[in-house]
Chains A and B, each alone.
Chain A
Amino acid sequence: MTFFKKPKKLIQEQESPKQKVTSQENSSPEKSPKEQNLSLDELLIKVKEPFSSTEDLMTHSIELPNDHNKIVLLYIDSIIDKQIVQSMILNPLFETANEINFESFRKMASIDLKKQTDFNQVKELLLQSNTLIFTEDTTSFFSMVTPVNTKRDITEPDNEAIIRGAHDGFIENLSINLALIRKRLKTPKLTIKYFRVGKETHTNIAIAYVDNIADPEHVKEVEKRIKSIEADAIHAPGNIEESIEDKPFSFFPQILSTERPDRVAANLMEGRIALVYDTSPTAHLMPVNFFSFYQSVDDYNKRWQIGSFFRFIRLFSFFIAIGLPAVYIAIVSFHFEVIPFGLILLIKSSLEDIPYPPLFEALLMELTIELIREASIRLPTRIGSTIAIVGGLVIGDAVVKAGLVSNLMIIVVAITAIAAYIVPSNEMSAAVRILRFPFMIAAATLGFFGIVFGFMILLFHLCRLYTFGSPYFAPLAPLNLADLKDAFIRAPFWKQNTRPKEVHAQKMDTTNHTRKWDNS
């Protein structure tokens, strides 16, 4: 298996000789300007050097009326809010102080204003929406975070809509995202750690976990993996996910993506670790198991019996989505004796004039459904109804009338398509949709035996899969009966009094003793 080992070796080689360049430890070999005793103008030239050609790096010089000292504001025009600079820096400077000099900055009451002495930070600070204030004293400078407000409103995530419960979702702003989590977990134990990944993109991400619940080993592992990411650009959360997941060749998502802060908060309290991103409304949760992808926030807001029923429906849908076309192929091409007699002549008469073998027929229709799905994502909603007409009427009806596909195949494909979208997680739904193709081929070559064979391989894979040291197929393998209470069924809240075992939470007891009043 040399193919799989190679990337690991590469990382090791890179790690050892070179020093890691992350935000925490910034130790460049250059001499600091302080030691060189530069004048202000020389200093400015020096700090502007890395940004040689960009035109939105602005310098704004002010000559102070009293001591005729020069103050220089340095900022990147496109990512700062000039209003804030005006109201928080310039106005106080000229209004409050009688004697305006750079000492007056110390007296200015603003939590965002910081005195900095490390000139290596300049580049970093500018890129993080800071306005820098340089004075004649070239040994230090001031910085103030003045980010431009580009936040969109907090809305409900479209792909994770629920009926009852909170309707807020993450947005493309890290501090707001963290605020949404903190709002739900008002505990000092909620720990946030910032990381910056991507040598050029400097993407901000944060790890969130509850300190006295999450397994320190897991936290360490997640931190280690994130720190080891070396890339010029980290654009999407998907980049991070692919960098830190255990088995990159598996079809199954091993990290749960969600845009719902309530889901993140609930999982943090179960001892999981969240990754929250700037510039993306997606948060990642780990370690998760297979059944986490079949949970929805909605389950907990329904009566527990109903919630359990829907859990069953969803898990059932997994088998339909993967296996139904395969079973259809296996039956009509190998084992039609299992069809009840009352049905067989109907099926036979609908199949009689189909020119293609069942596998081809099924592939044709499944690919068509995928085409429709893919097209409907891209299409603007205004012409989305076109797709419904083309997809539903033309393909559904005309294909049968033309004699390309049997009626029954249409039914099978439709049920399969619906079943695949029942999964609350988009990633899992995609995995299930892909998996049905190998199953169809297996069914066409070996019949029911092929399907059994396929499910066996699938089961092997699921049982062997570990994410961050936790078994992926828990609580089924290894079997833990107590944890089935939130996997197959949704037990009532007052019964959910232990955390899932595979998360290795420090505190297993959730202390859900909410019905103490009930003495009966």
Chain B
Amino acid sequence: MNKFIYTLPALLLLTGCWDQTNLNETKLITAGGIDYTKKGKVTSTVSVPQAVAAEAGKGNIVNQVFAATGNTARQSRLRLDLKVAERLDASKNQVLVFGEETAKTDIYNLLDIFYRDPKSSLNAKLAVAKGKASDVISTTFEEPKKSTGVGEYLRDSIKSAEEGATVPAENIQTICPLMFDPGQDFALPYLESTGKAVKVIGVALFQEHQMVGSIKEPLSVIYTMLTGEPHTISMSTTKKISNNQKENLLNYVTIKVEKNKRKFDVYVSSRDKISAKIKLNVKIIITEYPPDNLSTPSEIKKIEKKISKKLTEDAQKVIDKLQKMNSDPFGVGRQLMAYHYPTWEKLNWKEEYPKIDFKASVDVEVIGHGIIE
């Protein structure tokens, strides 16, 4: 027994450091892009920041982009590793981008490696690139001179789009249950590389594992509001509320949503006719309205009415689009499943969804108009 106790520390020391994965012997992937080649192979493009030795804190970071092709996502990663000096590690990956063509196929087949590896970064943002993902990853930016490269840049631009409610906040982890939920779909940010920068142009809508369409930028704010997001840091949008002003600029109002309350109901009539209704109760602050006159309550009422009407129109437009592409990100199916299960059981939701009666209405209340009178 004694001898056994004495050998324990020896065993601890004898193991050595073989299983260490030292930080200074790894290359960190900060952004990854996945495309299918024409032959159906998988090309992974990754951005690897490389610290150039300098005074600490002023680290000069050079961004390197590598790409490799394999039969599967993992194989392409393994081949990438052969191209890079040290071991590649994706545990700090910030963004994963799919090419549009790739997104239109089954994306779970490519995401599988992320859910399987305990070290993978499940909070990485997901996005769909218009065109190829490799274009987005290998963009050489004008903007970030001192930043840490593509990964951080893309993550931050998606984040700011989330804060502006242009895109819903999703990451690898959050879409996982949605992918396998027959009653709900999801949407991801939709990016476009303009050569010297990457722009968020809206949201890409998914049906189960496949991208089925997109909603472009100003309208995507309404989309985010319809998802029931109560508020983000600056959920703002500009709307045209009249046509009769001489200067075009004066026709517009910019609002910031302070509080967004969603009432979402799914009804089933006696003849199994399904209808859904989203009612938004929105409290807004007017952040831009050159014609002014906002100090009079009657004027406020008038504007409230106009904005409500405009937003309701837009909301309906979004819903019509969604029904047309057969994507159900608001979870009408889930509601149906939860409250009207016998009906749900009977029907084929994929066929039924585009046909249901889905209405939206937005009720706006102005609670502030800035500090000028």
Contacts and interface: CB of A to CB of B under 8 A. Distances in A.
A357 B155 CA distance: 32
A351 B52 CA distance: 11
Nearest to B18: A445
B148 A445 contact: no
A341 B94 contact: yes
Contacts of A337: 91-92, 119, 121
Contacts of B89: 336
A333 B21 CA distance: 5
Interface stretch (A297-305, A342-350, A369-377, A423-431): A342-350
Nearest to B155: A341
Nearest to B57: A346
Overall SS of chain B's interface: loop
B371 interface: no
Nearest to A442: B12
Contact of B56 (A331, A332, A349, A444): A349
Contact of B28 (A1, A344, A444): A344
B217 to A, nearest CB: 27
B178 to A, nearest CB: 24
B51 A352 contact: yes
A385 B57 CA distance: 30
B197 to A, nearest CB: 21
Nearest to B94: A341
Contacts of B52: 349
Contacts of A348: 23-24, 28, 51
Contacts of A349: 51-54, 56, 59, 61
Interface string B82-109: 0000000101101000000000000000
A1 B2 CA distance: 7
Interface residues on B, range: 20 to 34
Given A345-B51, A348-B23, A354-B24, A444 B92 contact: no
Contacts of B372: none
Contacts of A350: 56, 59
B49 A351 contact: no
B314 to A, nearest CB: 36
A339 B155 CA distance: 17
A261 interface: no
Interface in A434-468: 441-442, 444-446
Contacts of A99: none
A359 interface: yes
Nearest to A355: B24
A341 B57 contact: no
B152 interface: yes
A3 interface: yes
Contacts of A347: 23
A281 interface: no
Interface of B: 1-2, 12-13, 15-17, 19-24, 26, 28, 30, 49, 51-54, 56-57, 59, 61, 89, 91-92, 94, 119, 121, 148, 152, 155
29 contacts: A2-B2, A332-B22, A333-B20, A333-B23, A334-B19, A334-B20, A336-B21, A345-B28, A345-B51, A345-B148, A346-B59, A348-B23, A349-B52, A349-B54, A349-B59, A350-B59, A351-B24, A352-B53, A353-B24, A357-B17, A357-B22, A441-B12, A441-B13, A442-B12, A444-B17, A444-B20, A445-B15, A445-B17, A446-B15
Given A333-B22, A337-B121, A445-B17, 5 more contacts: A332-B22, A333-B21, A334-B21, A336-B92, A345-B28
